[in-house]
Chains A and B, each alone.
Chain A
């Protein structure tokens, strides 16, 4: 018998706490596979966020640090500037990155910090129980906008890849999704590229991954396809997947 696939070495053999149908588990695995493929596990330092992925430091088999809500890119800046030979990534959700941590993500990008950002956008605050996120869609229900997000009250969702791609310090910004197989494959490649850019000392890279949150979206937990359908039918319209910036491509 031939072993076709196994747990990546960069992912610890522990039970994760993520809900059924959540995308974090898939994205963790893709990050770990990318680390394995590039053989960087022993020189990688990861920054765990505050939010659903707060326990990421218990899952990745590399040096990890867990810091305050939204400050991942600042922490990553401190690590990378002190240990330039290390590969540093910050794993963040939408509340963490696009709300409370907006200044840190924008300025680390503007400075062109040589770090890798994994941004998981599921359009909701998951850990705290389903409040409106900066990326919550218009009309999407949340516990702090029970009738759905209304522009006149709550404003509009923020598109981070589009916003960050205007900054000269960014070398690579891509949005992908993990709601289908093609998206998962693309996400893996994007994450790998975002790490490779750091290995090549090029600059700031971000991969925004659209992900599912059946628990807080109120889609059926016993039917994950309801949540993947929401990504497919609604999220990708507001957050179109694609490469928003890639200066590594020769024109």
Chain B
């Protein structure tokens, strides 16, 4: 039985996390994600959880560090500049193998930028962001429904592999309202989850436990990092998610995530109406990137058009995936300005009908 209610993106994200078992949230106000901490501040106490409005983004991520170390499902959210501030803590958490959920409701940048939707934090999210060799499990929702559903997926993967997870949304998704089928997430009661083998707290006489990210003994840091890399490899093999639309007969495949994917789908429809066989490939996880499938698609389709609200960031992953088999075009706009379907359609037309060899909005 579906149970549909109207929700705002940021609130769906918060409610989705609570239903996925989140019981601790720490955050700091920043637009356009303020509804997330606001919602959590009254919602978490209802389920016996705890909310802290932190003095800074830096403190917030370190509260998450501490709370996650007790095995509690935790979340922090912010928007681009705030996520930059959290990077030190994220690196420590990754180094300490702690699972939790971060949400970045991206805004225009660099610097203070603006408060509109953007995708300029792709590199930061998928390449590490903080210091050292580490990865985050990164999911990119493109609807309010997915904002509601992805926290559970994130916790599942994060706890399975002991890795921090990130939901990469943007100001447009965070602020829009859509119907959400809330029956899609089966509520998790943390009381029914068994305590992890690494969590800190009242130990009742068991062996003491340590959580941390350093080891000065000769060769030990390398060993620690390489053990983690093994888990990363397994995630790359098993956890990549994507969605395909109209790609079977496609002469051109658009590659886009999040808000850009919504706009791209509208452009694909316009193209189909004009007789151009266009399709859409939507990565749902940005790390691991669905490289293998994209590479397969390049066996048949010769033109790929990457659409992103950033100046050529995800295009690097598409080029790495396709590895020269097909032409990769780029429709890129700096974050903080919306993309319009008509403009993207025009790019499709230029490539397919006018035969533009290397289409790029930024050269």
Residues of A within 8 A of B (CB): 42-43, 45, 47-48, 54, 57-58, 61-68, 71, 74-83, 85-86, 103-104, 106-107, 111
Q: How far is the CA of A74 from the CA of B74 in the complex (A)?
A: 14
B47-61 near A? 1/0 per residue, CB < 8 Å: 000101011101110
Top-9 shortest CB links A-B: A78-B66, A66-B212, A78-B67, A74-B62, A75-B66, A107-B55, A78-B63, A71-B62, A82-B72
- Determine the chain B residues whose CB is within 8 A of the CB of A65 once the complex forms: 65-66, 69, 96, 200, 210-212
Task: Judge whether B202 is part of the interface by a CB distance below 8 angstroms.
Answer: yes
Q: Is the CB of A66 within 8 A of B208?
A: no
Q: Which residue of A lies closest to B71 (CB)?
A: A82
Task: Judge whether B201 is part of the interface by a CB distance below 8 angstroms.
Answer: yes
Q: Is the CB of A57 within 8 A of B66?
A: no
Q: Is the CB of A43 within 8 A of B70?
A: no
From B54, B201, B209, B213, A74 is in contact (CB under 8 Å) with: B54
From A63, A67, A75, A82, B23 is in contact (CB under 8 Å) with: A82
- Determine the chain A residues whose CB is within 8 A of the CB of B214 once the complex forms: 54, 66
Q: Which residue of A lies closest to B53 (CB)?
A: A111
Q: Is the CB of A81 within 8 A of B52?
A: yes
A-B contact pairs, 5 of them (CB 8 A): A63-B201, A63-B210, A66-B211, A78-B64, A104-B59
List which B36-89 residues lie within 8 A (CB) of chain A: 50, 52, 54-56, 58-60, 62-70, 72, 74, 88-89
Q: How many A-B residue pairs have CB under 8 A?
A: 135
- Determine the chain A residues whose CB is within 8 A of the CB of B192 once the complex forms: none
- Determine the chain A residues whose CB is within 8 A of the CB of B58 once the complex forms: 71, 74, 103-104
Q: Is the CB of B212 within 8 A of A48?
A: yes
Q: Is the CB of B204 within 8 A of A42?
A: yes
Q: How far is the CB of B41 from chain A (nearest CB, A)?
A: 13
- Determine the chain A residues whose CB is within 8 A of the CB of B111 once the complex forms: none
Q: How far is the CA of A48 from the CA of B272 in the complex (A)?
A: 61
Q: Is the CB of B203 within 8 A of A63?
A: yes
- Determine the chain A residues whose CB is within 8 A of the CB of B200 once the complex forms: 45, 63-65, 79, 83, 86
Known contacts A77-B66, A79-B69; is-contact A63 B59 (Cβ 8 Å): no
Q: How far is the CA of A61 from the CA of B209 in the complex (A)?
A: 9
From A64, A77, A86, B63 is in contact (CB under 8 Å) with: A77
- Determine the chain A residues whose CB is within 8 A of the CB of B257 once the complex forms: none
Q: Which residue of A lies closest to B23 (CB)?
A: A82
- Extra contacts, 14 of them, besides A65-B69, A103-B59 (Cβ < 8 A), are A57-B212, A63-B208, A65-B66, A71-B62, A74-B60, A75-B66, A77-B26, A78-B68, A79-B67, A79-B201, A81-B63, A82-B74, A86-B202, A104-B62
Q: Is the CB of A82 within 8 A of B70?
A: yes
- Determine the chain A residues whose CB is within 8 A of the CB of B64 once the complex forms: 78
Known contacts A54-B214, A83-B70; is-contact A67 B62 (Cβ 8 Å): yes
Q: Is the CB of B67 within 8 A of A82?
A: yes
- Determine the chain A residues whose CB is within 8 A of the CB of B213 once the complex forms: 66
Q: How far is the CA of A78 from the CA of B23 in the complex (A)?
A: 11
**A48, A71, A106 — most chain B CB neighbours (10 Å):** A71
Q: Which residue of B lies closest to A54 (CB)?
A: B214
Q: Is the CB of A86 within 8 A of B67?
A: no
Q: Is the CB of A81 within 8 A of B92?
A: no
Q: Which residue of B lies closest to A104 (CB)?
A: B59
- Determine the chain A residues whose CB is within 8 A of the CB of B210 once the complex forms: 57-58, 63-66
Q: Which residue of A lies closest to B88 (CB)?
A: A68
Q: Is the CB of A43 within 8 A of B66?
A: no
- Determine the chain A residues whose CB is within 8 A of the CB of B59 once the complex forms: 71, 74, 77, 103-104, 107
Q: How far is the CA of A47 from the CA of B92 in the complex (A)?
A: 14
**A63, A103, A104 — most chain B CB neighbours (10 Å):** A63
